[in-house]
Amino acid sequence: MRRLLREPLVHFLGLGLLLFLLYGWLHGGVLSRPEEIVVSRGQMQSLQSQFEGVWQRAPTSKELQGLVDSWVREEVLYREGLAAGLDRDDPIVRRRVGQKIEFMIDVAPPAAPTEAELQAWLDTHADRYAIEPRYSLRQVYFDPARRGASLDAAVAAALRALASGKAVAGDSTLLPAVLDDAAASDIERQFGAEFAASLKDLPVGRWQGPLKSAFGLHVVDVSASQAARPAKLAEVRPAVERDLTEARNDESKKAYYEKLRSKYTVRVEAVNPESGAASK
């Protein structure tokens, strides 16, 4: 019995029944008279708030009456449409009702995960939260279009000059000449994947190259680097908590759907591949 009381489906049905009874009590038996349309105080306030949100002022008495008349007209047409069965076999209505049910399921989110549960999730999905490599470096750029056949010679001369402590200007570019503690993903966005991947194999503390980028060739001096490593929970806690909560919410919705699904027997008629029609 205790386990049953903890089921989300029981909570959902109980809340729905309570709201149903409360609505009937507040409206004096309106539920038993479907031909009566009641514009409640709450509905009036909602109509007025919608008007104020659009026009930035309160509606006049005439405008408010017009809002009420429009709402009543919509309600009348809606009820007549339901009575005529126009909601059946309508994919838009069908989808909208299903979305509302899913929204009602989302109203009661799962309990906040504990520290141990967060750590277990992180351990299981370590690759998703790994701290990426970071680099501090200087680079000198050489433009293949400008250098042409002299490109390799220019790069070799630059490496010799830089190794001896001389300054080398290289070719003009909008790329940064210096990066300080930059993440590998940021470097990849600026220089391209090939350049970023080449950095992990470079020793620290001397000019090396050339390295290819999406723009040309570079000689590079990596002054500091940090290899990729597993994240600690404190570093990625918000992301871990968000992902675990979303996963639990998805599991809860799936379980709720499976309970609903178990009430139905589904029969799928075979389709004749020649005619495209369902076989009887």
Q: Band of the pLDDT at 273, cuts 50, 70, 90?
A: low
Q: What is the mean pLDDT of residues 218-224?
A: 93
Question: Does 136 lie in the same domain as 95?
Answer: no
Question: Does 237 lie in the same domain as 179?
Answer: no
Encode pLDDT of 111-132 as tens digits: 788 999 999 999 999 999 999 9
Question: Does 244 lie in the same domain as 161?
Answer: no
Whose tokens are 């680099």? That residue is 135
**Per DSSP, what are the bridge partners of residue 179?**
137
H/E segment holding residue 142: strand 134-142
Question: Does 248 lie in the same domain as 183?
Answer: no
pLDDT of the residue at 93: 78
Question: Does 97 lie in the same domain as 38?
Answer: yes
Which of 41, 72, 106 marks a domain boundary?
106
Q: Which of 10-14, 159-163, 250-254, 266-270 has the lowest mean pLDDT?
A: 10-14
CATH of the domain at 186: 3.10.50.40
Q: Regarding predicted confidence, which is higher, 81 or 62?
A: 62
Is the per-residue pLDDT at 278 higher than 80?
A: no
Range of the domain at 70: 2-106
pLDDT of the residue at 29: 42
Which is nearest to 100 in space by CA: 16, 11, 7, 14?
Answer: 16
pLDDT of the residue at 7: 60
Question: Does 249 lie in the same domain as 120?
Answer: yes
pTM above 0.85, yes or no: no
Whose tokens are 């470079």? That residue is 202
Q: What is the mean pLDDT of residues 149-177?
A: 90
pLDDT of the residue at 15: 57
Q: Is 279 left (phi over 0), alpha (psi -120 to 50) or beta?
A: beta
Is the per-residue pLDDT at 97 higher than 90?
A: no
Whose tokens are 């994947």? That residue is 193
pLDDT of the residue at 50: 92
Question: Does 92 lie in the same domain as 40?
Answer: yes
Question: Does 69 lie in the same domain as 99?
Answer: yes
Question: Does 149 lie in the same domain as 91?
Answer: no
Compute the mean pLDDT over every residue in the chain, rounded to the nearest whole number.
82
- Longest C-alpha distance within the chain, in Å? 96
pLDDT of the residue at 168: 87
pLDDT of the residue at 115: 92
Contacts of 33 (CB under 8 A, 6+ apart): none
Q: Regarding predicted confidence, which is higher, 24 or 7?
A: 7
Q: What is the DSSP string of 154-182?
A: HHHHHHHHHHTT--------SS-SEEEEE
Q: How far is CA 98 from CA 85, 92, 150, in A?
A: 17, 10, 67
Question: Does 237 lie in the same domain as 212?
Answer: no
Question: Does 176 lie in the same domain as 44?
Answer: no
pLDDT of the residue at 27: 46
Question: Does 93 lie in the same domain as 79?
Answer: yes
Instruction: Work out how many domains the chain is built from and give that number.
Output: 3
- Provide, rounded to the nearest whole percent, the portion of the chain with pLDDT above 70: 81
Q: What is the mean pLDDT of residues 139-156?
A: 91
Encode pLDDT of 183-199 as tens digits: 999 999 999 999 999 99
Encode pLDDT of 229-253 as tens digits: 999 999 999 999 999 998 988 888 8
